[in-house]
Structure 1
Amino acid sequence: MKKLLLVLLLMPFFALAQESYDLIDFSDEFSGKIIVDDNQENSDLETNCTLNIYQKKNGKLVFSKPAFYSEYDFEDSKVKSNIQQIPYGEQSILIYEDFNFDGKEDIALRTGNYSCYGGPSFEIYLADKNGFTYNESFTELGSNYCGMFTVDDEKKQLQTMTKSGCCWHQFSTYVVENNQAVPIEIIEESYSGIFADYSVQKRVNGKMVTSGYQKFAEGNETEFTMVFENGKKMHLMGIYGDEHLGYIFTNADDVVELFIDADFTYIKVNETLTFKNKNTTYIVSEKEIIVKDGGKNYILNKIKETTGSFKKIKWNSFSNVSFK
């Protein structure tokens, strides 16, 4: 009897210590609210509330899990949902969307800040005949990259992004097979000096096949640039702290086709730069590039535009340039 009386006396205290907030409508079928009490906010866990989802037609509780909310989740004393500003913007406590492309909306539940750089992390629950079931494969995508993954309904694909500092990024694309997220392409880019290095893994016949390439990074300052009508480019620029001269030839997508850091010769009388790459000789002027290979000459002179001038280049400032 004394125990029962004690429970009755304490009930108002717990009621006062607990608060609930409705979610702004996110579904025609369901409603939701978060429940916050002192015990959750003061615990060692990152989750600080409970998110409940109810059937609108009968008020039945169909989903209840620990979750994480922050101040920006609130709007007019209600909790926002379906906010997803990728990659670093606001991402709400609940994202209600079809993740596995079966025509049923699923649940992404924010449970803390465990993704890259302390960003939002999500657990994923897929809709099924029994309600919503936790899915480890999708949860990995929602918690181990930079925030929530994105959904491409047209292509039926999922994308993630992650990074480390300024100079390494990874972009991954997945398809869904038997409610598992399966990678079909993973692109890693890293920056080193004047180039961006790319490693590309693509799924071919069930296996990931790796290839790589380099791109001429944006923002490089060149001494001279020649742009051809087909979009290819030739760049002359200082490298290694401007101590060496470098020759970079790229295709229309800025993918590096040839990079030469060798011994160059500048011929003053006709203002040309010459160098060798194995058995091939290159003669570069402001108007054309002559390539001598196997007894044949190839002239690249269909130029769209140029930037810079041979006359203004300080050739003697480069340790790998000699003169004739």
Structure 2
Amino acid sequence: MTNIYFIYRLLSPLALLGPLCFGQHHFEIKDASPKYNAEIMVEECVDDGCRGKGTVILFDKNGNKKQSFQSPDLRFYFKENFKPFKGIMTITHEMLRDEPLYFGDFNFDGTEDVAVRNGSGGNYGSPSYDVYVFNSTKMQFVPSAELTELASGYQGMFGVDEKNKRLSTFARSGPVYYTYEYEVVPRKGIVLVYEKIEDHTHEVVKITVKKKVNNKWIVKKTTE
């Protein structure tokens, strides 16, 4: 009984620290967003980058904690000369060739949203992301199933066209390449408005472009 009590007293303070206590590498990013700084904790780092279960914590620029996010596989890779070490390491966008998170106004409502990498579940093993949009009523980030699908089922993170208020993404199936553009419609979600298919199966490339105009699809087929 005494031994059990001693072990409990020894482990209980550590248990309060949770899973971040052991085997994690700690980074901070200050240049990814004009509004937020981020701290990243991930369980495994090697010469070219980091991977594994991770946590992202957002702070405002005054250092006040805003929200945290969990990832099953928070992967990111460095361009060169990465040497993991103990303690907090500051990393910048210029150091990375694969991003752990993205910021941007993904639904064009005037507030900044965030995407957190969840592994490499995209098309042909490309990066995939969980997307959270800022809810001005709740004053916090909430998951977006539609945007997460867009950032997880294609070739990496989607592009954001702020001028035309469109999201673009890309995929491929063997020699066939697909480009998609979506509009964000309030209270309706994302709507496909453009699709381009390039078929390189044969010597002559077949190109099909579909555009949605006034709720009708206009199709044009060409060859190269």
Q: Give the structure 1 partner of residue 90 of structure 2.
A: 78
> Which amino acid is the alignment partner of residue 108 of structure 1?
A
Q: Give the structure 2 partner of residue 5 of structure 1.
A: 9
Shift in Å, 1:83: 8.9
CA offsets 1:159-181 (integer angstroms, 9 cap, x no match): 1111122x211111111112622
Q: Give the structure 2 partner of residue 137 of structure 1.
A: 146
Shift in Å, 1:138: 1.1
Contact 2:78/2:98 (<8 A) preserved: no
Q: Give the structure 1 partner of residue 194 of structure 2.
A: 185
Q: How many angstroms apart in 1 are the aligned matches of 2:67 and 2:29?
A: 15
- Is 1:97 the equivalent of 2:101? no
Q: How many angstroms apart in 1 are the aligned matches of 2:24 and 2:98?
A: 25
Q: Give the structure 1 partner of residue 62 of structure 2.
A: 57
Q: Give the structure 1 partner of residue 86 of structure 2.
A: none
Shift in Å, 1:93: 0.5
Shift in Å, 1:107: 0.4
Contact 2:43/2:52 (<8 A) preserved: no
Residue 39 of structure 2 aligns to a residue whose secondary structure is strand
The correspondence for 1:29, drawn from 8, 23, 35, is 35
Q: Give the structure 1 partner of residue 209 of structure 2.
A: 200
Rate the CA distance shift 1:111–1:79 in 2: closer, same or farther, 3 A. farther
Shift in Å, 1:7: 1.6
State which drifts further: 191-200 or 167-176. 191-200
Rate the CA distance shift 1:181–1:140 in 2: closer, same or farther, 3 A. same
Contact 1:115/1:146 (<8 A) preserved: yes
Equivalent residues, number:
203
Rate the CA distance shift 1:2–1:114 in 2: closer, same or farther, 3 A. same
> Which amino acid is the alignment partner of residue 49 of structure 1?
G
TM-score norm. by structure 2 comes to 0.75
CA offsets 1:290-318 (integer angstroms, 9 cap, x no match): xxxxxxxxxxxxxxxxxxxxxxxxxxxxx
> Which amino acid is the alignment partner of residue 109 of structure 1?
V
Residue 17 of structure 1 aligns to a residue whose secondary structure is coil
Q: Give the structure 2 partner of residue 108 of structure 1.
A: 115
Q: How many angstroms apart in 1 are the aligned matches of 2:94 and 2:186?
A: 25
Contact 1:55/1:62 (<8 A) preserved: no
Shift in Å, 1:8: 4.9
- The Cα RMSD (Å) is 3.2
- Is 1:127 the equivalent of 2:134? yes
Residue 155 of structure 1 aligns to a residue whose secondary structure is coil
Higher relative CO (Cα under 8 Å, sequence separation at least 6) belongs to 2
- Is 1:158 the equivalent of 2:157? no
Residue 126 of structure 1 aligns to a residue whose secondary structure is strand
CA offsets 1:116-152 (integer angstroms, 9 cap, x no match): 2211111111112221111111111111111111111
Q: How many angstroms apart in 1 are the aligned matches of 2:56 and 2:204?
A: 47
CA offsets 1:241-297 (integer angstroms, 9 cap, x no match): xxxxxxxxxxxxxxxxxxxxxxxxxxxxxxxxxxxxxxxxxxxxxxxxxxxxxxxxx
Q: How many angstroms apart in 1 are the aligned matches of 2:220 and 2:162?
A: 29
Question: Which protein shows a greater Rg?
Answer: 1
Rate the CA distance shift 1:108–1:16 in 2: closer, same or farther, 3 A. closer
Q: Which runs of 5+ in 2 are unaligned?
A: 84-88
> Which amino acid is the alignment partner of residue 168 of structure 2?
Q
> Which amino acid is the alignment partner of residue 187 of structure 1?
K
The correspondence for 1:168, drawn from 166, 176, 184, is 176
Q: How many angstroms apart in 2 are the aligned matches of 1:148 and 1:28?
A: 20
Q: How many angstroms apart in 1 are the aligned matches of 2:63 and 2:202?
A: 63
TM-score norm. by structure 1 comes to 0.54
What percentage of aligned pairs have identical amino acids?
Answer: 26
Contact 2:77/2:98 (<8 A) preserved: no
